[in-house]
Structure 1
C-alpha cells in the first residue's frame, strides 16, 4: 500500500475501427452524446450503462480513465505448444472483441442469439441489455512471455529492459498460484456483470492458445484519477491515494507514467500486488494507534502535522516533543520526498474472498500501479520495509506486465512488437 496514486480519457461516443469491420452505426448512435452517464443535450440523467470509453487511442484505456466501481483482473499463460502465429491471432481476436464490448456490444458477428441454434453462440449473453457501463479493457505482457525456452514467439530480443520479474521484498509471502503470468487483462466497469462478461468471453476466445493462471475480483476503488472523484477509503477505513497523479496532469504523466522507447512508446508498466489485510488485528487497534501507523487522521484524512486532506505533510513538525508524523508512518515512507521524487499512478481495489477456517475474513487491497519503469515501484516498496503498516498486511501475490500503447484504427494489440 502506498499513498500516491493516478487517470486517462473521458467518456465519449464510440471508437470506430474500419479495418476489422466494426463500424456499427446503430450502436454508435446509442452512445454518442452521453458523457459520464448524463445526456449532453439536456439535464435529464440517463442510465450509467450508456457511459462509453473508446477502446482505440494513443494510450490504452483503463490507465487514466476515471476509476470505475468494479474490477475483474485475469492473468493468462500461453499453452506450451503455441507459437508466434497463435499469439498474433489471439491479439487480433482480443482486439476485435474488446472494441465491441467497450461500446456495449456483443462478441462476434452474431452475438448471443443471432447465430445458428445448432451452434454455440458467439457471445455468452449475460451482459445483454446492460450497456457498456464505462467498460475499459487494458492488456499487458509479462516477462515470462519473452523468456520462454526456445523463444517460440520470436520476441526474446524485443523484451524491454524494464520488464523483469520483481524482486522479493521484505515481508513478502508470495503464493505462486496468484503471481506472475504471460499475459494480463484488466477489466474495469461500473457494473460487476459487465466485467465478468468481458473476462469470460476473452478467456473463451483464448481457449487452445492461452488459459487463465489466476484472477482477482475487486470492488470499491481505492484511488481517484480525476478532480471530480473524491478520495475513497480502503478496508482499514482510511482515505487512500490522496496524492495520486490525475488525468489532467500531463507533465506528471509524461514524467512518471508513459514509456517512451521502442515499441513500448506510449505504453506503461503495470505492477499488480495482492495485499492481504489482517482485518481482525487492525480492528482491535486503538484509533490513536491506527492514525499513528498511517500518519493521517481517519476522519478528514489530513496529515498528523496539521491541515486538511490535501495539505502537504510537514515531516519536521513535532507534537509534545515527538514527531507528529512518526518515522515509521506509512505516509512518510511512501512520500515522494523520501523516494527521490518518485510518483506512481494507482488504480487499486478492495477485495473480499470469503474467510479461513478460523472465521477470519480473507480481504485486502488489490494494488495496481502504472509507471514508466517498474523501478519506481521498487524504490517505494524498498522504502516501506520499516513501515508500521507491515504489522497488519501481507503481500501474497505479485506480477509485473508491459502495457503496450493504445490501439490505432486498423491495428491490433501490441502490433508494433511483431514489426
Structure 2
C-alpha cells in the first residue's frame, strides 16, 4: 500500500474540512441552525458543543467512563488527544495520521478501520464530566452544586453497572457504524487513564430538536417530544438549556446532561386497549393530538372537563410532564429507542434511553421526575434502571482549545 493512498473516508474528510472552514464565519454551522453541511459534516467548534441543538441524528452510541488515574496532567493530555481525534472523525477523516493502513505494516494502526469508505454521516461528539471527576482529580471546589448525583425516585430499580460515570461521550450519527467507530477509537485511546463504566446503543430518535424534523415515535407507538425545545428558539434555549452567569467560568454557555435508561414493559402495553393507552398518554395515537384537540401541535387544554372528569386525565403523562405542571420548567430532550436482546424470561429488554439537556437539573428535571414517578399512570409500564448526570462545557474556540482545558487550567 502506497503511503500516499487515501481512503474514501479521508477524501470525504478533506472535502468536509474545507467546507467547515468556509462556513466558520456563519456561526460555526450548528451554533444557530444545528444543520449539517451538504456533505454531512457538522462543525466541531463553535459557541456550544455539537450534538445538543444539532438536528437529532438517527443513531446513538453513548458511553460513560471512569477515571483510572488521578494524574491531572495525564487526564488533560488525554482530553487534548480526544479533541484532536474527535475533530478529525466528525469531519469524515480517520482518527489520526497514518490511519487504519500505516506505512509500517508491523505497527498497530492508529485507526481501527471499520469506518473506512464511510462519509461523516452528520457525526457529532459531545463531551461531559460527572461528579466523581472532580473528587478524583482533587478539584472538588470547581464542581458546581447542580452537578450532583440524581436522587432515587419512587419505583427506581437502578443498576450500578448502568449508572454514574466520571466522563461521558455522546456520539450521534446517521450511520450506526460511524457512531460506534468514534466511541471505540476514543475508548481505545483512553487506556491507562479511563475505562468504560457502561454504554448504550440507540436507534430511531425519540425527539426532534429542529422545526425541520417530524416528531418521531417511541416503542409504545406514540409520537414523542411534540413540545420539545427547538434549535430555532434561541431565547428559550438561553432560558432553559444554556448555563448562564450562575455557573462557573468553565461551564458558562454549556449545559447539564441527564441520562436515564428506561425499560418499557412493551408486552404488557401491547395487551392494553387503544382507549386506555390514549388516556394514559393524554394524546391520540394516530395524529398525536392532545385529547382536547385535533392536530398534533394543538395546545392541550388542561382545564377541559367532560362527563367523567378532566378530558386529559389528572394522571396522564402529558399533563404531569407539561411546563404548566412544573412551574414553567422545560428541557431539550434528545432520547433514543433501544432493544438490547431479551431478559431471559421471554421479554424484550427494550425501551427509551432518555437524554435531556437542562440549565439546572435540580430545578428542572428532579421535580418533574418526582411528580411523574409518584403519579404518572405510565409508570406502571416503565422501569428506570440506569441514571447519570454530567456537566457539558461550552463549545471550543478555534486554535488549540480542547475539551476540559478551561476546567483543568
The two structures have a TM-score, normalised by structure 2, of 0.90
Task: Compute the RMSD of aligned alpha carbons.
Answer: 1.7
Check the 8 A contact 1:91/1:414 in 2, yes or no: yes
CA distance in 1, matches of 2:22, 2:255: 30
Q: CA deviation at 1:114?
A: 3.3
2:256 matched to 1:269? yes
* DSSP 3-state at the match of 2:201: strand
CA distance in 2, matches of 1:136, 1:154: 30
Q: Of 327, 331, 352, which residue of structure 1 is paired with 2:318?
A: 331
Q: CA deviation at 1:86?
A: 1.3
2:344 matched to 1:357? yes
Residue 230 of structure 1 is matched in structure 2 by: 214
Q: CA deviation at 1:357?
A: 2.0
CA distance in 2, matches of 1:115, 1:91: 27
* DSSP 3-state at the match of 2:183: helix
2:389 matched to 1:400? yes
**1:12-49 superposed Cα distances (whole Å, 9 cap, x missing partner):** xxxxxxxxxxxx86553477889xxxxxxxxxxxxx99
Query: Runs of 5+ in structure 1 lacking a partner?
Result: 1-23, 35-47
Change (3 A) 1:26 1:255: closer
Q: CA deviation at 1:226?
A: 0.8
CA distance in 1, matches of 2:273, 2:215: 23
* DSSP 3-state at the match of 1:51: coil
CA distance in 1, matches of 2:339, 2:71: 37
Aligned pairs for 1:121-160 within 5 A: 121-148=109-136, 153-160=137-144
CA distance in 2, matches of 1:137, 1:28: 16
Check the 8 A contact 2:16/2:41 in 1, yes or no: no
Q: CA deviation at 1:407?
A: 1.2
2:406 matched to 1:416? yes
* DSSP 3-state at the match of 1:307: coil
Check the 8 A contact 2:42/2:124 in 1, yes or no: yes
* DSSP 3-state at the match of 1:147: helix
* DSSP 3-state at the match of 1:64: coil
Residue 227 of structure 2 is matched in structure 1 by: 243
CA distance in 2, matches of 1:209, 1:97: 16
CA distance in 2, matches of 1:133, 1:280: 34
CA distance in 1, matches of 2:21, 2:71: 40
CA distance in 2, matches of 1:50, 1:279: 38
Q: Of 52, 70, 74, which residue of structure 1 is paired with 2:63?
A: 74
2:177 matched to 1:193? yes
Q: Of 197, 221, 242, which residue of structure 2 is paired with 1:258?
A: 242
Q: Of 109, 132, 152, which residue of structure 1 is paired with 2:97?
A: 109
CA distance in 1, matches of 2:266, 2:383: 11
Check the 8 A contact 1:49/1:133 in 2, yes or no: no
Query: Runs of 5+ in structure 2 lacking a partner?
Result: 1-12, 24-36
Change (3 A) 1:31 1:415: closer
List structure 1 runs of 4+ shifted beyond 4 angstroms.
Answer: 24-27, 29-34
State how many pairs are aligned: 379
Residue 276 of structure 2 is matched in structure 1 by: 289
Residue 193 of structure 2 is matched in structure 1 by: 209
* DSSP 3-state at the match of 1:55: coil
CA distance in 2, matches of 1:95, 1:130: 21
CA distance in 1, matches of 2:18, 2:255: 32
Change (3 A) 1:286 1:27: closer
* DSSP 3-state at the match of 2:146: coil
Residue 30 of structure 2 is matched in structure 1 by: none
CA distance in 2, matches of 1:332, 1:285: 20
CA distance in 1, matches of 2:367, 2:64: 25
The two structures have a TM-score, normalised by structure 1, of 0.88
2:361 matched to 1:374? yes
Q: CA deviation at 1:286?
A: 0.4
Change (3 A) 1:245 1:27: closer
**1:336-395 superposed Cα distances (whole Å, 9 cap, x missing partner):** 001000001000000000012221111000000000111211021112120000100000
